[in-house]
Amino acid sequence: MTKGLTFLTAVSALALTAGVAKADIQIATVGPITGSNAAFGEQLKKGAEQAVADINAKGGVLGQKLVLTVGDDACDPKQAVAVANQLASKGVIFVAGHFCSGSSIPASAVYNEAGILQITPASTNPALTEDAAKKKWDNVYRTCGRDDQQGQVAGKYLLDHYKGKPIAILDDKSAYGKGLADETTKTANAGGLKEVVHESITAGDKDFTALISKMKAANVSAVYFGGYQTEAGLMVRQAHEQGLTAQFISGDALPTTEFWGITGPSGEGTLFTFAPDPQKKPTAKAIVEEFKKTGYEPEGYTLYTYAAIQVFAQAAEKAKSTKLPDLVKALHGNSFDTVIGPIKYDSKGDITEGGFVVWKWHDGKYAELNG
């Protein structure tokens, strides 16, 4: 009798233990793993993989291991929604993504409905967090800045250097590119600088001969382009070949060596706006060295993706939970120590500190203009 009770007790205990066994935590990063922006997808992937490896090496989150899924949206809104639904059905509770604003915005609706936390390392269109706030969603955040901030920096640069001179403003019609060009135009126009050429291209275009001829005829001194590195690179190279000597300026889609791979020496002197170099921050030193040991340069949004996963991990530890309502409380009530420095959030999910500076391409590398 005693032996029987002992056996049943042991079985019950074993079943109870199995019932409360800690499962892995499913998270994801999503970006353009394929397509014309795949260089940035690689940045997100590398940053996420390294963050997960480092966090798991220290015991994981709440004693559980992080398991990473890498999703490919190819910067296509429809594909982004499909990937978001797949992640929701898989039980993913946190997504570090997407890269393109045009993907992050529609995907955010899926994540909101599924109760999934989204922290984008790269989507800078203000509408992502503004619209979420208007809808009273609480699941959308960034580790990067916004285009209304970035456009002010670009617009001010144009005013400081080209006021009274003819300029052109171009965009690629994307949520990111047009949004950024519009913000830049707003600042430039408010300061008294009016563009003489204002045109839109289509993402994927490869021949800009007619547009360049139009800008040459207008004798433009500077060209501002809101769009991605592939079209920017082709435009710069073709402008050089056609003898257009105007200063080319763009946004934060140019911190990738792919740009120079397209332009070659004709990319010399190209300017773009981006956050102050995260690799130079003391908080990034050890992680940057870790990346470089593997032969990888953590450029662009690599560290911003790493930081997004750090924010999630720290929020979960502070909340002692991975449920969205608990994570939200932690996200709005704390500061998070990340590889790109401390991060705090405002009521909309935007970072409270940050900014943009002007960078310059020189001899195949890029650096802060006054850094």
pLDDT tens digit sequence for 33-75: 999 999 999 999 999 999 999 999 999 999 999 999 999 999 9
pLDDT by residue (tens digit) across 178-192?
Answer: 999 999 999 999 999
Measured distance CA(266)–CA(273) in Å, rounded: 19
Helix, strand, or coil (residue 338): strand
Q: Are 369 and 359 in contact (CB under 8 A)?
A: yes
- pLDDT greater than 70 at residue 143: yes
Q: Which CATH class is domain 25-145+280-343?
A: alpha beta
Residues 6+ apart with CB under 8 A from 338: 143, 283, 306, 307, 310, 311
Phi, psi of 179 (to 5 degrees): -60, -45
Q: Are 172 and 228 in contact (CB under 8 A)?
A: yes
pLDDT of residue 280: 92
The CATH number given to 148-274 is 3.40.50.2300
pLDDT of residue 354: 83
pLDDT of residue 22: 58
- pLDDT greater than 70 at residue 16: no
Confidence of residue 89 (pLDDT cuts 50, 70, 90): very high
Measured distance CA(138)–CA(116) in Å, rounded: 10
Cα radius of gyration rounded to whole Å, the chain: 23
> Strands 117-120 and 247-250: what pairing?
unpaired
- pLDDT greater than 70 at residue 17: no
Phi, psi of 74 (to 5 degrees): 50, 25
Concatenating the DSSP letter of every residue in 93-154 gives -EEEE-SSHHHHHHHHHHHHHHT-EEEESS---THHHHHHHHTT---EEESS--HHHHHHHH
- pLDDT greater than 90 at residue 305: yes
Q: Are 141 and 117 in contact (CB under 8 A)?
A: yes
pTM of the entire predicted model = 0.90
Closest CA to 109 of 137, 86, 87, 133: 137
Residues 6+ apart with CB under 8 A from 165: 221, 222
Phi, psi of 249 (to 5 degrees): -130, 140
Q: CA 355 → CA 33, 46, 101, distances in Å?
A: 27, 24, 18
Q: What is the mean pLDDT of residues 308-317?
A: 98
Confidence of residue 164 (pLDDT cuts 50, 70, 90): very high
pLDDT of residue 333: 87
Measured distance CA(223)–CA(166) in Å, rounded: 9
Measured distance CA(310)–CA(330) in Å, rounded: 13
* All structural domains of the chain with their residue ranges: 25-145+280-343, 148-274
- Shared fold status for 25-145+280-343 and 148-274: yes
Residue 91 — left, alpha, or beta (φ > 0 → left; ψ -120 to 50 → alpha)? left
- pLDDT greater than 80 at residue 15: no
Q: What is the mean pLDDT of residues 68-85?
A: 98
Q: Please report, in angstroms and rounded to a whole number, the separation of the first and last CA atoms in the chain.
A: 80
Q: What is the mean pLDDT of residues 215-234?
A: 98
Percent residues over pLDDT 90 in the chain: 92
Helix, strand, or coil (residue 74): coil
Q: How many helices (H) and strands (E) does the chain have?
A: 13, 14
Q: What is the mean pLDDT of residues 314-320?
A: 98
Measured distance CA(213)–CA(114) in Å, rounded: 50
pLDDT by residue (tens digit) across 252-287?
Answer: 999 999 999 999 999 999 999 999 999 999 999 999
3-state percent breakdown (helix, strand, coil) of the chain, nearest 5: 50, 20, 35
pLDDT of residue 176: 96
